[in-house]
Structure 1
Amino acid sequence: MQTAQQKKQPPIGAETSSGTTAGASRVSWVDIAKGISICLVVMMHSVLGVEKAVGAEGWMHGIVAFCQPFRIPAFFLISGLFLARALKRDWADFLDRKLLHFAYFYVLWLTLQFIVKAPIFAADVGWGGVVMLYLTAFIEPFGTLWFIYLLPLFAIVVKLARGWNIPTIPVLAIAALLHLAPIHTGSVLIDEFASRFVFFVAGYAFAERVFAVAEWARSNGAVVLAALVGWGLINGGLVVYGLEGTPGIALVLGGLGALAVASVASLATTLPIGGFLRFFGKNSLVIYLAFFFPMGVARTILLKLGLFDIGTTSLLVTLTAILSPLVLKALIDWSGWGTFLFERPNWARLAPKAKPQPV
């Protein structure tokens, strides 16, 4: 006969109320939230790229503007949710997972981007200038890759603070002050660190509460939908009036928007679209690293064809930029060639990757 405790335990592989797959380390709604975030990031680059090329705005511009207050805050808050687990590791293991991991992909894809864009850069600054731009990118984040440049720095700062016995709340307070301060040096590293660090620390500091909100949202769909409508009206109204970047308002909108993404992701775990978004989230790094090239190709071809309006062209470019990296990843998995593009090889690790144990 089963004990009461045994009856409470879900079977291996069953999904719990919080969206966790029992016996696995992934959380469904977190993957979905990552999927939403990466799609919003790609959409922003795709839409603004098309609009810049034609010198006009399309119907997708309003969607990008609406998402601006919470797109990046949600990305970093979600990234901080599991930091507590990483902080328990020794420094060697921590640096391998949090620094070398992202450093490998940053250097690799920085190099690949320069190979593709070098002729364009050379036309403006000469080949000597191209070399200087490439070297500068090691101390000043380059292009779309600034996300994975800052993530390791955020994690290291939090681990150092913990090692120096600095409580989390003062760290969060300092991060909030940095966000509120008018720091605009022109350096992507300095400005984005000051602006975004607070959301990463908030994800770490309030992880339990964020998970609780997500679980509550899944069980209270009608109330959550009503709250999301209210939030959407407030967020959209502030964007329309150009107040979304105001100090204080930007911080609140970022935090509320991140919670909105978490709530939507939790609700989506019960919907068919949740499976697609979760797949995108599990492959968010793949999409993030490789979307730039198909985005540029699709934009060039579609604008030359001139078959669609600006908004529809932007949508097609977005879909191409999201799906193409996944197709590339599938081809790599099928052929076995090019695995280094999305999987860090053993020579780039402090310790070889452990082989999966037979079940």
Structure 2
Amino acid sequence: MRRLPALDVARGLAIVLVVLHHAVLHLDAAHLLPVGWRSVNGELVLLRMPLFFLVSGLLAASAAGRSWGRLLRSRLVPLLWVFALWSLVRFAVFRVVTPRFQPWEADSLVPLLLAPLRPTTGLWYLYALAAFTVAARALGRRAAWVLVPAALLSVATSEQVLRAPYYVWHQMGRCFVFFLLGWCLRAHLLRLLGTLRVLPAAGLSAVGAGVLVAHGAGLLDVVGAASAVSVVAVVCGLAFAVLLTALPGAGAGALCAAAGWLGRRTLPVYLVHELVVGVGTSAVVALGVAAAWGRPWWLPPVWVVLAVLVSLGVRAVALRVGASWAYEAPAAVVERAAGLVERVGGVLQRAVRAPAGRGARRARGGTP
């Protein structure tokens, strides 16, 4: 099925919210955050990653029919390559330049060494995306059966009924259902988005904004409200993306084109933006200009624009100097890693089958 422009727009909006989230965190740690932004950022948690994972699951669903070998080479190894490589980069930058704003990543080598099992960095989305893809592919046609348990897990984690020992695991428990919804309902979602018109899209967008504002104001302070608001916000976020693609006028067209263009380039922004935010915040503090600035309301949006532009600029320079390996796993690495996984999988399969085969032969030998 064709890829709708609204999906790229939705991804573009989601990555902007991710950048804003980290800008708020770093500015807050440096005591530079303007009044009100902490509350806004806290409310957007109900939309940001759920929307990102829903669209990711929808786009990843084409991998459902691939063999494990092809899936390893086309998606899993490339994801884990950039996750491992940029985890090293983040450790170096945050340890040398911004240790006071990112201590949980840079205070020792332990978080870095445990990242394959216990990711604690801002790159956890890549880790979760690989894990969710493996889970959905392994479930096959049974993936739809897991929607209800995944929804219950999401509610339990969102409402703090179930608390994972680490933030990333907690977020994965909250967001898996959204990835699975995109994976399982891809055809239906594409059909609905393709037929959604301007007025219904505008109405849904207004509903989503209203629900988020009401929840932030404490008007929906009941058990389960956060989970329900998150679902509504994601649906309305998709509707807003459709609305941007349908609005007439040069301004709306330019905004839609920019969001869609960014939505097709989320990886370089995701990998680099927090480094830009962290280094920029440290520079502001070190230069002492924070006192002259105060806490202007425009500081987080400026940080977002700066982080996006620098991230894309870093990628452009990397490609110009032949360092595409920073964003794409080299073919040799992909082939060797996939081959190693396939060999290990074959050994494990034979080890599992051998006892079963011996048991079957004994059973046949003991039958009269």
| TM-score computed with the length of structure 1 as normaliser | 0.81
With over 3 angstroms needed to count, the CA separation of the structure-2 counterparts of 1:281 and 1:308, relative to structure 1, is farther
* Partners of 2:33 and 2:295 within 8 A in 1: no
- The structure 2 residue matched to 1:50, chosen from 27, 30, 34, is 27
Match of 2:357 in 1: none
Q: Provide the aligned C-alpha RMSD in A.
A: 2.7
| Alpha-carbon distance in 2 for matches of 1:247, 1:73 | 19
| Alpha-carbon distance in 1 for matches of 2:302, 2:219 | 28
* Partners of 1:51 and 1:310 within 8 A in 2: no
Query: 2:172 matched to 1:193?
Result: yes
Query: 2:281 matched to 1:305?
Result: no
Q: What is the deviation of 1:203? A: 1.0
| Alpha-carbon distance in 1 for matches of 2:234, 2:72 | 27
- Aligned residue for 1:82, secondary structure, equals helix
* Partners of 1:61 and 1:311 within 8 A in 2: no
| Alpha-carbon distance in 1 for matches of 2:195, 2:22 | 33
Query: 2:202 matched to 1:225?
Result: yes
| Alpha-carbon distance in 1 for matches of 2:7, 2:117 | 31
Q: What is the deviation of 1:300? A: 2.7
Q: What is the deviation of 1:77? A: 0.5
What 5-or-longer segments of structure 1 have no aligned partner? 1-17, 21-25, 353-359
- The structure 2 residue matched to 1:141, chosen from 102, 119, 129, is 119
Aligned residue runs from structure 1 range 1-359, under 5 A: 26-54=3-31, 57-119=34-96, 130-162=108-140, 166=142, 168-181=143-156, 182-217=161-196, 220-241=197-218, 243=220, 248-270=224-246, 271-303=253-285, 304-306=288-290, 307=293, 309-333=295-319, 335-350=320-335
| Alpha-carbon distance in 2 for matches of 1:234, 1:121 | 38
| Alpha-carbon distance in 1 for matches of 2:281, 2:24 | 10
* Partners of 1:99 and 1:152 within 8 A in 2: yes
* Partners of 1:81 and 1:203 within 8 A in 2: yes
Q: What CA deviation, in whole Å up to 9, does each residue of 1:258-286 have, x standing for no partner?
A: 22221221222242111111111111011
* Partners of 2:201 and 2:242 within 8 A in 1: no
| Alpha-carbon distance in 1 for matches of 2:171, 2:43 | 20
- Aligned residue for 1:344, secondary structure, equals coil
* Partners of 1:51 and 1:58 within 8 A in 2: no
Q: What CA deviation, in whole Å up to 9, does each residue of 1:155-184 have, x standing for no partner?
A: 11111111xx53x33210110121122221
* Partners of 1:46 and 1:295 within 8 A in 2: yes
- Please identify, of 69-78 and 51-60, the stretch whose mean Cα deviation from structure 2 is larger: 51-60
The amino acid across from 2:318 in the alignment is I
| TM-score computed with the length of structure 2 as normaliser | 0.79
* Partners of 1:214 and 1:266 within 8 A in 2: yes
Q: What is the deviation of 1:206? A: 1.9
- Aligned residue for 2:117, secondary structure, equals coil
| Alpha-carbon distance in 1 for matches of 2:333, 2:195 | 41
| Alpha-carbon distance in 2 for matches of 1:254, 1:89 | 31
The percent identity for this pair of structures is 21
With over 3 angstroms needed to count, the CA separation of the structure-2 counterparts of 1:68 and 1:132, relative to structure 1, is closer
What 5-or-longer segments of structure 2 have no aligned partner? 247-252, 338-368
With over 3 angstroms needed to count, the CA separation of the structure-2 counterparts of 1:56 and 1:345, relative to structure 1, is closer
- Aligned residue for 1:184, secondary structure, equals coil
With over 3 angstroms needed to count, the CA separation of the structure-2 counterparts of 1:301 and 1:308, relative to structure 1, is farther
With over 3 angstroms needed to count, the CA separation of the structure-2 counterparts of 1:338 and 1:61, relative to structure 1, is same
- Aligned residue for 2:123, secondary structure, equals helix
Instruction: Please identify which structure carries the higher helix content.
Output: 2
Q: What is the deviation of 1:144? A: 0.7
Q: What CA deviation, in whole Å up to 9, does each residue of 1:279-313 have, x standing for no partner?
A: 11111011000111111122233453232534222
With over 3 angstroms needed to count, the CA separation of the structure-2 counterparts of 1:99 and 1:260, relative to structure 1, is same
Match of 2:359 in 1: none
With over 3 angstroms needed to count, the CA separation of the structure-2 counterparts of 1:249 and 1:299, relative to structure 1, is same
Aligned residues: 320
- Aligned residue for 1:140, secondary structure, equals coil
